[in-house]
A = this chain, B = another copy of it.
Amino acid sequence: MRAVVLRNKALTVENIEAPRPAAHQVLVTTIACGICGSDLHFVHHGERMAALSAEGSSGSSSASSSSASSTLDFSRNIVMGHEFVGRVEELGPDAYTSAKVGELVVSIPVMMTAVPPTDDSFRTIGYSNEFNGGYAEQMLLSGPLLLRVPNALSVEFAALTEPMAVGLHAVNKSGIVPGDAAVVHGCGPVGLAVIAALRLKGIETIIASDFSPKRRDLATVMGATQVIDTRTYDPMDALLEAVGRPGVRTAMIAGSGSGLVQFECVGVPGMINTSMKRAPRASAITVVGACMESDSIQPMFGISKELSVSFVLGYTPEEFAGSLRSIAEGEIDVAPLITGVVGLDDVATAFSDLANPELHAKILVRP
């Protein structure tokens, strides 16, 4: 089968052996797969990402599904793509799914190697030498983890299940409740997913900031109540205007119904400290943007204002299913996010194009 292969930091389209479904596995034809910002980063910095993840997990007392990344071999084939929709082609033995051949399915990008699973029986799909992701004509999924795509839902929209689940998870973990205000720093796909989830949660003050006019437009479409060009205005000043001047509104405790959560969705060094510096007393910061580099903070900003900084990643299976349901029921309109569709031959070009926020938000690959 044809696939976009990452090997030694280069992406090439090659013919590789098609996978065969073993026990509990299902072979699908990849119908669509979104390109994630993490994939762009992984091409050049994958080894560092894996090393950091391994360094942080050494000796920690719980196994995580990403622990397999420490054994990644970057000189061997890696086929990325974890925002996929597939059509069932063949069920392996004991597939543990009600999905039938020909049906469209989505799944969290995880392979369960044993049923029932133990802590050690989860493998990553996409960031793996073992299980290819969606930048390939076919892929193996885990039978017990399949979710059928409702008939009425566009295949392209279903491919947004994964990135929108990231936003739902961040908002759920933040503890924000209706009545609280939100400031979203950065309106790339992650920030836009957070904005959609905030709207879904009933948050009425959503102030979003980005340098890019195109992304600010998308932020408005997804539900931001105010958009700010960070180059000319500070989103925290906008917040003060929206909710009251200093001293007027003293309870900013997130989860209180009159609090604030800042969502850091930029993921570059300095953003966490900037968020801490301008944070009101006792407010919360949820870090969703994945900054891969070392970063500097002034702990005194956190201490003197009793801030809480929560880091979030991924989603639960329930949130993933909720994301699919919200898209299918029209609660989240993902249509504006899809700014391009390419075939396998144009994936490398799409990776470059995504660097321009005026051109693109989400590009789908249709293998």
Q: What is the interface of chain A, defined by CB distance below 8 A to chain B?
A: 49, 52-53, 55-57, 59-64, 66, 119-120, 173, 234, 236-237, 239-240, 243-252, 260, 272, 276-282, 287, 290-292, 294-313
Contacts and interface: CB of A to CB of B under 8 A. Distances in A.
Contact of A61 (B63, B119, B240, B304): B240
Nearest to A308: B310
| Residue from A279, A294, A304, A309 having most chain B Cβ neighbours under 10 A | A304
A290 to B, nearest CB: 5
Contacts of A306: 173, 310-313
A252 B303 contact: no
Contact of A304 (B64, B248, B281): B64
Nearest to A63: B247
A280 B250 CA distance: 34
Contacts of A49: 300
Nearest to A269: B299
A303 B287 contact: yes
Contacts of A279: 56, 60
Contacts of A292: 299-300
A245 to B, nearest CB: 7
A282 B57 CA distance: 12
Given A61-B239, A246-B62, A250-B119, A56 B305 contact: yes
A305 B243 contact: no
B272 A299 contact: yes
Looking at A236, A248, A249, A295, the one whose CB has the most chain B CB atoms below 10 A away is A295
A277 B56 contact: yes
B303 A60 contact: no
A313 B287 CA distance: 22
Contact of A299 (B250, B307, B311): B311
Given A61-B245, A252-B61, A312 B303 contact: yes
Given A52-B301, A300-B49, A300-B53, A60 B295 contact: no
Contacts of A240: 59, 61
